[in-house]
Structure 1
Amino acid sequence: MLIAWAITYSAIVGGVKAGIERAAKIMMPILFIMVLILIGRTIFLPGALDGVNYLFQPDFSKIMDLKVWAAAYGQIFFTLSIGFAIMLAYSSYLPEKSDINNNAFMTVLINCGFSILAGIMIFAVLGFMAHEQSKELTDVVSAGVGLAFVTLPAAINELPAPYILGPLLFLSLTIAGLSSHISIIEAVTSAIIDKFKIARKKAATLVCGIGALVSLAFATNGGLLLLDLVDYFTNQIGIVLACFIEVILVVMVVKAANIRSYVNNVSDFKIGGWYDICLKFVSPAILAITLFNTLKTTVTDGYGGYAQSDLLTLAGACLLCL
């Protein structure tokens, strides 16, 4: 944990060019190569293709399940860093006449492409695990943080050469986590620098120092439960709520047509009137329905099926307010 914070602190203090950009140029290619190596090794294992087929086999009965939509929104918002100021922080560093449409398109395309590659890697491993244990894939899959810290380690132990593939997999997860960590801390640091007009090093020391102290809670015996709690209330409620409020404010104050006009003026390819419709009607409606259903389910059924779900729900609500 100390090493992760030290790397993050160094990247933030170094600034955008010397710190964050340099770290991304090193970490992202390494992560991509490691994922490709893992796919190449696991895809030919017995049962691996069954896992991959399960990943890409659609279940249209889930299309009206609002829990699926909530999870999908939380996933895409988190991986694209939408809803918690990261995009605002990094966009402020772009040149004034940047091709916004092209940048947005490439960001989404690369993000989704890499997510698919990561999914292939994980489900190939799970398919092999199910084959080795003579179980259905659904019997070995667990959702949330349990997948990374319980299911995958158990699956790795059954792989050929686990002493090589295991460290490679978790090094990949570490690099992915570090890159996200740096981007989140930069968003907070950038806001403090702009608001209070203090030096970057001082702001980074303040943010990273407080963050490091708070993160100690995740290293305790109850850290996994706390991580799952934060993940649920942040991803499926907090980010969705933030994006809903942002969409409403943008539509009412900035106006969708004004945004479309500006980005089209500085971009090579143009976006059409469908953007206005999505921003005014489609996105707010889906976000509102999804958020209402998630809140209703959380309040009525409790969180996570734990014995003390009421207490955990209250704790999650407090975290959400923070």
Structure 2
Amino acid sequence: MSTQKTAPHVGREQWTGQLGFLLAAIGSAVGLGNIWRFPGVAYENGGGAFLIPYLVALLTAGVPILLLDYSFGHRFRGAAPTVFRRVGRRFESLGWFQVAISFVIATYYAVIIVWAIRYMFFSATLAWGDDPTGFFVGDFLQDAGTGLSFDFVGGIFWPMLALWLVTLTVLGLGVAKGIERTVKIFIPLLAVVFLILVVRAVFLEGALDGLNEFFTPNWAALADPGVWIAAYSQIFFSLSIAFGIMLTYSSYLRRRSNLVPVSYVAAFANSSFELLAGIGVFATLGYMAGQQGVAVGELEGITGVALSFMTFPQIISMMPGGPVFGVLFFASLTLAGFTSLVSILQVVSAAFQEKFALSRVQATAAIGGLCAVISLALFSTTTSLALLDTVDKYTNEVGVVLSAILSCLVAGLFARKLPELQAHLNSVSTARVGTWWRVLVGFIVPIALLYMLISSLVTLFTEPYAGYPWSFVNTVGWGVVGAMVVAAVGYSLIRWRRPVDDFDPEALDRKATS
């Protein structure tokens, strides 16, 4: 019989039910990457052919890592540092690395939401005039390039301050009263708004040309390793896996929770939304190509920031009923972005609550407040565009992928927890996971991700990202990665203010089933 004592769990927050958790998981997964990143990635990587590696990536990496996150959080009942500390003392730094990733992402994610909010109002009057690109870069952002000119842009700073106050209020209210209530309103509203948007798009003149571009495969693209790397990158970017979110969210579930089916629903709901976004965006691009008298494949500005804040405003100005279409599009971005921002910050807040014995309000005020200050100081300035672009690139393609590889290795090789985690998933779920899951997580996924990471590193070391000066990308890009590693090691060395090692999941399971 185990002599370990069970750490007290009285008072730990919980979702009111599985629906709240599922909506929160979907709200985290369905974010800006679904609407503005997926269509552009598909456009650049073979159109319809991209859907094949995308589906393979979803089934071989997305769902398995999502199940890994769920099993870690639900089995070991904590935020990322708590979970990995309970897996083994030497793994705690991986948890803090995930917290650092979430902290960094939150700082720049907020400003994109503010852009969407502002453009929702700009759409009503077509405020960008005849030059949407010039308006966005010049009039709106007052972009200073990579010159590190930290002059505040009032039209961004004050709305961003308001956004942070709202976000921290939701976090301060807690899992059930704050996050769950928010997603129960925002996710259905997002679904309705975006469905209206897509239906309007497919009835535009020339929409069929855009849809043909989206669904007609360029089979030659499947032989390009870069297309497969792009597919795996998109899955990790959009599913919110491997940097603490789903791990933290699942820790708030009750002990008897149907984890496996819920993970399938969350994963396929996210991908369904991405496909819906692809249909809406490509239909709209078909209209734009028809108006310009060019083929859809010859259009420019179809990725990321350019798609949402340069290309789409141009389309909105062309189309009948454009202002209404624009309001709906940017409202969708706002709703999707806000639910994701809340989930990202919860990773950070929960970690500090548990390590330093802080209350929810204390952690929200201290750590959330610090994140807000950094966000305002860096990303409401005239250098925000280049900073955001570079930090996002290095955080996702280096930080998140490295975190995923290490999570797989800890579970499968170092701590050998995969059989235990598989047994846990099967014990609480109506659907079972088989040996295939352990093979994927223990061998296939880390090998594929390691190849992806090495490919990214080769490119980042040999070519200055986006043509920025080497001094800028090295300082900002590698500086952020280095800061995350230092934070991960540093926080893991600090003494816990609450018991964390005297945790017996077997005793907790027996109590739950008695």
Alignment of 1:88-167 (within 5 A): 88-138=247-297, 139-167=299-327
Q: What TM-score does the superposition give when structure 2 sets the normalisation length?
A: 0.60
User: Quick check: 1:145–1:228 contact (8 Å CA) kept in 2?
Assistant: no
Q: CA 1:302/1:11 → structure 2, altered by over 3 Å: closer, same or farther?
A: same
The counterpart of 2:371, out of the listed 186, 206, 211, is: 211
Residues 243-284 of structure 1: CA deviation (Å, up to 9, x unaligned) = 011111110214322222221121111122211211122101
The counterpart of 2:420, out of the listed 258, 261, 284, is: 258
Structure 2, unaligned stretches of length 5 or more?
1-159, 485-514
Alignment of 1:65-76 (within 5 A): 65-76=224-235
Report the alpha carbon displacement of residue 63 of structure 1 after superposing the two structures with TM: 2.7
Q: What is the one-letter code of the residue matched to 2:175?
A: V
Structure 1, unaligned stretches of length 5 or more?
none
C-alpha distance in 1 between matches for 2:407 and 2:231: 18
Q: In structure 2, the residue corresponding to 1:96 is in which secondary structure? A: coil
User: Quick check: 2:411–2:442 contact (8 Å CA) kept in 1?
Assistant: no
Report the alpha carbon displacement of residue 310 of structure 1 after superposing the two structures with TM: 5.1
Q: What is the one-letter code of the residue matched to 2:478?
A: A
Report the alpha carbon displacement of residue 56 of structure 1 after superposing the two structures with TM: 2.2
Q: CA 1:71/1:230 → structure 2, altered by over 3 Å: closer, same or farther?
A: farther
Matched, 1:303 2:472: no
Report the alpha carbon displacement of residue 6 of structure 1 after superposing the two structures with TM: 2.0
The counterpart of 1:81, out of the listed 240, 248, 254, is: 240
User: Quick check: 2:301–2:307 contact (8 Å CA) kept in 1?
Assistant: yes
C-alpha distance in 2 between matches for 1:260 and 1:113: 27
Q: What is the one-letter code of the residue matched to 1:116?
A: L
User: Quick check: 1:102–1:268 contact (8 Å CA) kept in 2?
Assistant: yes
Partner residue, 2:179: 20
Q: CA 1:43/1:315 → structure 2, altered by over 3 Å: closer, same or farther?
A: same
User: Quick check: 2:390–2:477 contact (8 Å CA) kept in 1?
Assistant: yes
Report the alpha carbon displacement of residue 64 of structure 1 after superposing the two structures with TM: 4.1
Partner residue, 1:235: 396
Aligned length: 321
Q: If you compute each CA radius of gyration, which structure gives the higher value, 1 or 2?
A: 2
Partner residue, 2:346: 186
Q: What is the one-letter code of the residue matched to 1:224?
A: L
User: Quick check: 1:47–1:124 contact (8 Å CA) kept in 2?
Assistant: yes
Q: What TM-score does the superposition give when structure 1 sets the normalisation length?
A: 0.94
Report the alpha carbon displacement of residue 290 of structure 1 after superposing the two structures with TM: 0.7
The counterpart of 1:202, out of the listed 362, 372, 382, is: 362
User: Quick check: 2:391–2:476 contact (8 Å CA) kept in 1?
Assistant: no
- Over aligned residue pairs, what C-alpha RMSD do you find? 1.6
Partner residue, 1:57: 216
> What's the % identity of the aligned pairs?
38
C-alpha distance in 2 between matches for 1:234 and 1:55: 29
Higher RCO (Cα < 8 Å, 6 or more apart): 2
Q: What is the one-letter code of the residue matched to 1:140?
A: E
